[in-house]
């Protein structure tokens, strides 16, 4: 039986089913949830190659009529053009209010399909079937959907919660190893931000998690449980949900500095960013040097970058990075909002971080 994590929001709730092989049974699960509904699958070419056949066969076996919209892989699909392709595809497939959109893929597919679902016919229900580790532990849970603007990432979007999440941990076997490690950074994030016991466990279990086994199911479930609890407290990020941004202010600046290219994947930027957030917290006297070393050692062991100098190629100078940090949405009225920490599992939201001191710190860390 799969592990079930329940996401409870003010007026509704949904399940996250987690386990190996779940895509082969997704048809029965959807038929039980919404009898008679038709399904429009949104996926990308890479994921389609490995998993679309399984999903289509499972839907057909459950008596569900389905069609598929296949987008190009990569972040560039989270664009107006990608949105047009998916929204018009859904309309052409005659998807109606009682039908379902099924996002089968990584965070790109989930964000794009979820946003398309939120606007077609003023809102269609959708199911997330995340196939990357990042999507299984982070992007498929919590209801943030959207696309990028030429002016910045994720600037156009909506909160639109799925009605069901099906995380097939076996689907991760076809994910490139580098993508798997990058997703793992977000798993480590949950331990580092709020759960020292989880972090202790990860230090011993990460090999099994990465190679795939019962530990992988447990790690995805622990991550979803952590995220669900935070989202339940603060669905639209007026407070605590910002904790999920641990490492992301520095991380996004590095990602932007590397041009959102293959030079630095999101999770890799987050890994470096978390190390910087710990080091900066130690600098402010908030957290011990030992905790900084422990966080860094773990991420390094997994094969993740932990230093700014680990980013291959050129990056903007420190002032350039500061400009990128200032453009990040976590800045309001000149004050930087940062996630700082008092130690492993003890992150907190700091709303009045002094930009000059961050600049001096960054200058030294290069």
Window contacting ligand NAD (CB under 6 A); options: 67-75, 79-87, 302-310, 332-340: 67-75
Q: Is 43 in the site for ligand NAD (CB under 6 A)?
A: no
**Residue of 16, 22, 62, 109 interacting with ligand NAD (CB under 6 A):** 109
Q: Is 198 in the site for ligand NAD (CB under 6 A)?
A: no
Query: 74 a known binding residue?
Result: no
187-198 CB burial, b ≥16 within 10 A, e <16: bbbbbbbbbeeb
- The answer to whether 115 and 158 have CB atoms below 8 angstroms apart is yes
**Residue of 22, 64, 90, 134 interacting with ligand NAD (CB under 6 A):** 134
Window contacting ligand NAD (CB under 6 A); options: 102-110, 288-296, 331-339, 349-357: 102-110
Rounded to a whole number of angstroms, the minimum distance from the CB of residue 290 to ligand NAD is 29
Site for ligand NAD in 257-316 (CB under 6 A): 266
Q: Is 106 in the site for ligand NAD (CB under 6 A)?
A: yes
Catalytic residue among 215, 237, 255, 268: 237
Establish how many alpha carbons lie within 13 A of residue 13's alpha carbon, considering only the half-sphere containing its beta carbon: 7
- The answer to whether 302 and 184 have CB atoms below 8 angstroms apart is yes
**Residue of 17, 26, 31, 47 interacting with ligand NAD (CB under 6 A):** 47
- 144 forms beta bridges with 159
Torsion angle, CA of 265/266/270/272, rounded to 10 degrees?
20
DSSP state of 54: H
Burial class of residue 205, CB neighbours in 10 A (0-12, 13-18, 19+): middle
d(CA 236, CA 316) in angstroms, rounded, equals: 32
Query: 144 a known binding residue?
Result: yes
Look up 227 and say whether it is catalytic.
Answer: yes
Q: Is 144 in the site for ligand NAD (CB under 6 A)?
A: yes
Whole-Å CA distances, 309 to 85, 94, 122: 39, 51, 46
Nearest CA-CA partner of 181 in 305, 314, 58, 54: 305
Judged by the rule CB under 6 A, the positions of this chain that interact with ligand NAD are: 44, 46-47, 50, 73-75, 78, 105-109, 111, 131-132, 134-135, 138-139, 142, 144, 154, 171-172, 174-175, 179, 266
Q: Give the residue ranges of the annotated binding site for NAD(+).
A: 107-111, 131-132, 144, 153
Numbered residues of the known binding site for Zn(2+): 186, 248, 266
């Amino acid at each position: 039986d799969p592990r079930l994590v329940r996401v409870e929001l003010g007026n509704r709730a949904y399940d996250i089913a987690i386990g190996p092989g779940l895509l082969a049974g997704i048809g029965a699960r959807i038929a039980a949830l919404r009898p008679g509904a038709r399904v429009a699958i949104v996926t990308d070419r890479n994921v389609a190659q490995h998993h679309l056949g399984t999903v289509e066969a499972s839907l057909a076996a459950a008596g569900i009529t389905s069609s598929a919209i296949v987008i190009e892989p990569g972040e560039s699909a989270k664009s107006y053009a990608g949105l047009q392709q998916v929204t018009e595809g859904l309309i052409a497939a005659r998807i109606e209010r009682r039908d379902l959109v099924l996002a089968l893929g990584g965070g790109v597919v989930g964000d794009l399909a979820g946003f398309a679902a939120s606007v077609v016919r003023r809102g269609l229900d959708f199911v997330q079937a995340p196939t990357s580790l990042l999507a299984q532990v982070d992007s498929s849970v919590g209801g943030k959907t959207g696309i990028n603007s030429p002016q910045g990432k994720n600037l156009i979007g909506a909160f639109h919660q799925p009605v069901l999440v099906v995380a097939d941990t076996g689907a991760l076997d076809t994910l490139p190893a580098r993508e798997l490690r990058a997703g793992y950074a977000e798993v480590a994030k949950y331990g580092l931000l709020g759960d020292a016991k989880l972090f202790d466990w990860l230090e011993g279990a990460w090999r099994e998690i990465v190679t795939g086994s019962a530990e992988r199911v447990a790690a995805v479930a622990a991550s979803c449980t952590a995220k669900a609890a935070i989202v339940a407290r603060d669905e639209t990020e007026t407070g605590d949900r910002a904790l999920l941004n641990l490492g992301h202010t520095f991380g996004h600046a590095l990602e932007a500095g590397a041009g959102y290219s293959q030079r630095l994947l999101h999770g890799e930027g987050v890994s470096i960013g978390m190390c910087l957030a710990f080091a900066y917290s130690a600098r402010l006297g908030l957290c011990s040097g030992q905790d900084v070393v422990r966080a860094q050692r773990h991420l390094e062991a997994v094969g993740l970058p932990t230093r700014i100098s680990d980013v291959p190629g050129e990056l903007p100078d420190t002032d350039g990075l500061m400009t990128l940090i200032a453009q990040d949405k976590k800045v309001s009225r000149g004050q930087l909002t940062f996630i700082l920490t008092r130690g492993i599992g003890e992150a907190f939201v700091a709303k009045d971080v002094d930009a000059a001191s961050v600049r001096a710190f960054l200058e030294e860390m290069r």
